[in-house]
Amino acid sequence: MEEKKSNPTKVILYISLWVIIWGTLGSFIDYPLYKNKIYIEGSIYQYLTFSITGFISIISAKFFYKKLEL
C-alpha cells in the first residue's frame, strides 16, 4: 500500500491557524476575568487560563487533523 504524504505547507498553516485560535480563545476568556479583577495580570491563574486553553486547543487540533487528512 502507498502511504499518503502530507504537504508540509498545509501542516504549517494548520498549526499556525490553531495557534491563532488558541491565543484568541485564551484572550476572550482572560479579558473578562482580568477586567473584573478576578485575578491580576501575570498571576498563576492567568497562566492556568492560557495553559488549559492551550491543552484544549492541542486536543482539538489533533482531532480535526485526523478528520481533514492533511
Provide the domain limits for residue 32: 10-62
pLDDT confidence of residue 52: 96
Question: Do the domain assignments include residue 48?
Answer: yes
CA 19 – CA 5 distance, rounded (Å): 23
- Enter the DSSP assignment of 47: H
pTM value is: 0.78
| 5 in any annotated domain | no
Does residue 56 lie within any of the structural domains? Answer: yes
Average pLDDT for consecutive 10-residue bins of the chain (70 residues)? 75 94 95 92 92 95 87
- Please identify which residue in the block is written with the cell numbers 502511504: 3
Answer whether residue 17 is part of any domain: yes
In this structure, is residue 16 part of a structural domain? yes
Map grid coordinates 484544549 to a residue. Answer: 56
**43 falls within a domain:** yes
> What pLDDT is recorded for position 1?
53
State how far the Cα of 48 lies from the Cα of 38, in Å rounded to an integer. 13
